[in-house]
Every structure is written in structure tokens, then in C-alpha cells.
Amino acid sequence: MIRLQRKRDEVLGRLFEEIKLNNDNNIDVEKMRPQIETQFSLRKFEPEFFSDDVIKSLTLMVFVAGTETTVITMEWAMSLLLNHPKVLQEIKAVIDSQVGCEPLINGLDLAKLPYLHCVINETLRLYPTVPLSLPHCSSVDCIVGGFHIPRGTILLVNAWSMHRDPKLWEEPIKFKAERFEEINGEREEFKFIPFGIVRRACPGAGMAMRVMSLALGAFIQCFDWEMVGKKMVDMTSSSEFLMAKTKPLEAVCTPCPSMINFLS
Ligand code: HEM
């Protein structure tokens, strides 16, 4: 642990030095910029709070909370699409007609691809990457579902079972992305909570949805995807804090003829 922490400190330290060198005399509060730069610029106003250690921890949190969750969800989404080739073809057709071959899909195109958004939501419903969310602690005595919960109890919310509850969802086990076309807002009835809810909900949810849509969109725009052999992709999940696939996804991708110029 100590060795790893030192290594982590070195990497972040180098990143800090680079940013400090580039920006020492050049801080423009209005400009869009990476999170670390923003924190450095805030140090001017609250030097005691924004110490190197605090900035390092906040930066690290974004890596820890943001990378694996996003990658695991994309792997689930791609696996579901391979097992449902018609849905994959449908998205591909929309990308071909709405975005075309060049340039690569960008943020503005996402508004034209609502179905891709539904596919990611349906993936997060069936395979919520953080199935038990993060532990919370009750701040007062309360009664939930008839159970008395004393103040100070550590609580886990089982998003996985809520997302598959037949009382809340029609055909809950079925992959049916179109169900999200009808759901008005992702927080409807709080039955869909892959990012938690309210005050301590995931602050990276918007970014995660955007990054996943862009990456999956680009994969589909650039390549034709097929399963390896005739077997369906194995969808067994691990039972860890982050719910990953037990068997990593293997797939065959071939560059789309129309994208070869762009890709090369
Ligand atoms: C598919 C991707 C992601 C999923 C499924 C996910 C899910 C979650 C969940 C369930 C929580 C706990 C919410 C609660 O306590 O009720 C959480 C917290 C958090 N997430 Fe995410 N997340 C994702 C991506 C990201 C990204 C991209 C970032 C940052 C760029 C991020 C940063 C955080 C942070 C900092 C917290 C802790 C918030 C707090 O305790 O107040 N997450 N996330």
C-alpha cells in the first residue's frame, strides 16, 4: 500500500508540476479548463483548503470513481448489442444516416441518437455497475418498508434487484431499450438508480453518459462487430463491489469500408 501510494504521488506530482508551470501567471477564472487547474486557481481564494494533498485526493477520486465504472458499463453494453444484433444494426443505420462517415461522431450528434441513449440506460438497468450503490448512514431514526432503522445504521440500497423487480418493470429480465423512450426522466419513481439519487448521487453521471455514448457511437460508426463463433456472449456477472463481466468480452471487429480512409 505504501509503495503504491508513493507511486501514485509521483504520477500526480508530475502532472501538478506541468500544470503549475503552464499556468502560474496565467489564470483566467472564466475559461473552461481541466479540474486540477480549476482547483489550483481556487487556491488563491482558499489557500488553506486547497492544499496539494486535497487537490491530489479530489483528482484521484475522479479517476477511481470514473474510469472503471464507465469501461465496465461499455463492456456490458457492447455484449448486449452483440447478443441483440438487430438493435446493433438499427443503431448503425441511424448513425450512418444522421452522422455519416466523417467526421467522427461528436457531442452535437448525440441529440440525433436518442436510441443509443436508451440502450445505455437499459444496460445500466440490467447491469448496474455499482449494484449496491455506496454505503450510506441514516442521520436520524426512521421507518422504511415497516422496518425501524436506528440513526447511525450503515445502509446499502440494492439497485440491482430494484432494476429487475417485476412489480416495477414489464418483462424485467428482457433487454428492451425502447422502454426508456417512454420513461419521462431517468428519476421517474426513483425505480432506476444506477447513479444513486439526490444529494449524494454520482456527480459524474452526465459526463459518464456522454463519454459512453460517444465511445460506443464511435465503435459502431467505425467498425462492424460480430461475435466470436456462434455462441452468445456469456453474460455472467461477478459479485463484487463493481459488477463486471466474469468473462471479458471477446468480439471480432472489422473496419467499415466507408471508414477506412478516416481510420488510416
Ligand atoms: C457508468 C458510470 C458510472 C456509474 C454507474 C456511477 C455510479 C455511481 C454511484 C452508484 C455512486 C454512489 C451514489 C450514492 O452514494 O448513492 C457514485 C458516486 C460517485 N461517482 Fe460515479 N458513476 C459513474 C461514473 C462516474 C464518473 C465518470 C465520475 C467522475 C468523473 C464519477 C464520480 C463519482 C464520485 C466522485 C462519487 C462520490 C459522490 C459522493 O459521495 O458524494 N462517477 N457513482
Give the per-residue pLDDT at 22.
67
Specify the residue with its C-alpha closest to ligand 1, atom 1: 70
Instruction: State yes or no: 202 annotated in a binding site.
Output: yes
Give the domain ranges of the chain.
Answer: 1-50, 51-263
Q: What is the pTM of this model?
A: 0.89
Give the per-residue pLDDT at 36.
81
CA–centroid distance, residue 243 to ligand 1 (Å): 14
**Which atom of ligand 1 approaches the CA of 73 most closely?**
1
List pLDDT tens digits, range 119-139: 999 999 999 999 999 999 999
CA–centroid distance, residue 256 to ligand 1 (Å): 34
Specify the residue with its C-alpha closest to ligand 1, atom 17: 202
**Which atom of ligand 1 approaches the CA of 67 most closely?**
27
Give CATH superfamily name and number for 51-263. Answer: Cytochrome P450 (1.10.630.10)
CA–centroid distance, residue 167 to ligand 1 (Å): 27
Ligand 1 neighbours, Cβ below 6 Å, are 61-62, 65-66, 69-70, 73, 129-130, 133-134, 194-196, 200-204, 207-208
ipTM over 0.90: yes
CA–centroid distance, residue 137 to ligand 1 (Å): 17
Give the per-residue pLDDT at 26.
56
259 exposed, middle or buried (CB, 10 Å; 0-12, 13-18, 19+)? Answer: middle
Average pLDDT rounded to a whole number, residues 24-39: 66
**Which atom of ligand 1 approaches the CA of 129 most closely?**
5
Q: Pick from 71, 183, 200, 68: which is nearest to 125 by CA?
A: 183
Give the per-residue pLDDT at 40.
82
Average pLDDT rounded to a whole number, residues 248-264: 92
Query: Is the pLDDT assigned to residue 25 strictly greater than 70?
Result: no
